[in-house]
Amino acid sequence: MSGVYARQVARRISVLTATAALTVTGLLATAPAAQAAPPTPVSAATARTYLAALTVKAEGSSTGYSRDLFPHWITQSGACNTREVVLKRDGVNVVQDSSCAAVSGSWFSEYDGATWTAASDLDIDHVVALSEAWRSGANSWTTSKRQSFANDLTRPQLIAVTDNVNQAKGDLDPAEWMPSRTSYRCTYARMWVHVKYYWGLSVDSAEKSALQSVLNGC
């Protein structure tokens, strides 16, 4: 009797193990593909809370500003610098050569809706521009902190976009520039506030008003 019982238990364990394996396989099969995008910003509700907490004051001066005071693009691993890491992250089917340069792939520019297949057509935008950060408090930071800001892969501060769109944006804040692709403006405002809040940067009144308007419609 005990032998029969042992065989039944063994058979039951075998069935349970097989079922568990099928469940795991099913979960893997239905798991979403990796998102070719920057880190997800805080929700609109959280962004509104963050925005209310930011210091509001007139923008400071650009006196003394230089991009060299925000060292980038730094090496992240091996031969890969921050730009190449973002190109790999934000693209689809990106192939890199031995020096980590993206030699093929496809990139969708969230700001204007254009799709590119050459990395040379893309800039890596600092969502909060370096000079904007300088005028909002980064002028008092150490060079080490400014380097961390300029290469921040953890917050939604870096994104691969059409090069001439990035150049047209320049160092403008949301009161002066927003993505032409209106469906992305809510995400952009969330990104902007997330970055400014984390890094303790101030906003001016027009900037805050523009962000509030967008976030209230999210």
pLDDT of residue 36: 78
pLDDT of residue 60: 94
Burial of residue 171 (number of CB atoms within 10 Å: 0-12, 13-18, 19+): middle
pLDDT of residue 188: 98
Beta bridge partners of 116: 107
How many H-runs (helices) and E-runs (strands) does the chain carry? 8, 7
The candidate with the shortest Cα–Cα distance to 57, out of 118, 136, 4, is: 136
pLDDT of residue 18: 39
Euclidean distance between CA atoms 215 and 43, whole angstroms: 10
Output b/e per residue, 7-24; b: 16+ Cβ within 10 A: eeeeeeeeeeeeeeeeee
pLDDT of residue 37: 86
Count CB neighbours of 71 within 10 A.
14
pLDDT of residue 27: 33
DSSP letters of 51-85? HHHS-B------TT--GGGS--SPEEETTEEHHHH
Euclidean distance between CA atoms 89 and 98, whole angstroms: 17
The candidate with the shortest Cα–Cα distance to 161, out of 121, 132, 203, is: 121
| φ/ψ (deg, to 5) at 2 | -65, -35
Q: Could you list the pLDDT tens digit for every one of the 218 residues in the chain?
A: 444 444 443 444 343 333 333 333 333 333 333 457 899 999 999 999 999 999 999 999 999 999 999 999 999 999 999 999 999 999 999 999 999 999 999 999 999 999 999 999 999 999 999 999 999 999 999 999 999 999 999 999 999 999 999 999 999 999 999 999 999 999 999 999 999 999 999 999 999 999 999 999 99
pLDDT of residue 171: 96
| Cα 50 to the center of its chain, rounded Å | 18
